[in-house]
Amino acid sequence: MVVSLFFSYYWKPSIISFLTIYIFRSIQLPKLLIVVFKVTRFDFLCMLDDWVYHYLPIIFCFLAFFVNPVFIYLIITENHTKFGNYRFLLLSFALFNLTYSLVNVIIPVVSCQDLHSHLQEVQDIHSYRYCSFLILKHGWFAQRSEFHFHLMAGRCSLVSASYAILLIHFFYRYLAINNSKMIRERFPLYMAGSAVVFVVYFEMWHGICYFFGSANMEVREYIREEFQETYGLDSMDFNMLGALPYEASDETTNRSWVAIVLWSCVSTLSIVMFWVLAGMTNRRLNKFRVNVSHKTSRFQVELLRALVVQTVIPIFISFAPCMLSWYGPMFGIQLARGYNYFEVSALGVFAFVDPVAIFLCLPIFRRRIFCVCYDKSTSPTTICNSRRTI
């Protein structure tokens, strides 16, 4: 009874009742410790869920709103002759990061994978046959409605739109090396075209989600029992993107395959275009070095290197996790719980990691940030003012 009263003060009511009944039925201490360990482990997982799905997006948003304004300040205060019109693309990139971070907090998503296995005592990752789906679990837009579904699809489309921004940057770098009139005399036209590319990527992904990726009644019924046991909720009440390529009607499997193939094509072709443009720019840059100064050539190489790093980051934290989520259930790959944490975290982290990568890759920014860390015997003003010009 003393143990029961102790737990009734420090533990949740549901846990107290369970432990009290167990104590009265059996006095076997080892079994009691095992039960306490399991309950404690479950509470720990619930606490971890709260951190990953509630607090990490807020932390990443705070970091993004700290780093990106610094990035914007450095661009605005830098000599305009160094970056030329490219500074406007960098500014648009920073504004996109801020928007994405804010949306990531307002419209959080949870990715779940259903594979061949038994249901585990965890949340957010289902383990039931071949279905993979994504839901809005928390926030103001979790309830099922047409408007909320469009918000969820738009939230996912922002990830695709980041590919458009990178593609615009790569194309600009190629035109800059070739001294194109498009970016010198017709730059407003280039920015208008860039906006069109951004909208096309966004709407294309949104359309795939709406027409092919939305979970129909068959998909919801397929996971309904397991969803109820895991969440204590009805799968019919949630906005959901889902794919069920097997064990369903022809209509459902065809829709699922079309959605997965189209998502894969958009992502893969974008990355292929990145590397093709990077290779073309690098080859042109090797010829470009003969006719320009060493400083100018080196600065162009640094800009290209920074852009490549910007591209590698979303490949590992966006493209690869999404591909594994789509194709994992098809091949019976059991995705561990930690993967779901990684995926949810990674989709929000690049909004502040990318600007940091630019800081580190471009000496022109790196020196301005770290100039205060130099030896006091060297004047910080002298160091900061020694930045090269081109």
In DSSP notation, 110-168 reads EEEE--SSPPPS-SS---STT-EEEE--SSTT-B--HHHHHHHHHHHHHHHHHHHHHHH
Asked if 156 and 241 touch (Cβ cutoff 8 Å), the reply is: yes
**Domains by residue range for the chain, with CATH:** 2-385 (1.20.1070.10)
Positions in the chain whose pLDDT score sits under 70: 1-54, 108-128, 137-139, 230-231, 290, 334-346, 372-390
pLDDT of amino acid 80: 85
How many whole angstroms separate alpha carbon 156 and alpha carbon 135? 11
Structure tokens at 194: 């860039």
pLDDT of amino acid 130: 83
pLDDT of amino acid 162: 92
pLDDT of amino acid 50: 53
DSSP state of 292: S
Structure tokens at 57: 């997006």
- Strands of the sheet with 132-135, listed across from one edge: 110-113, 132-135, 240-243
pLDDT of amino acid 213: 92
Asked if 273 and 170 touch (Cβ cutoff 8 Å), the reply is: yes
pLDDT of amino acid 5: 43
In degrees rounded to 5, what are phi and psi of residue 12? -70, 155
pLDDT of amino acid 61: 86
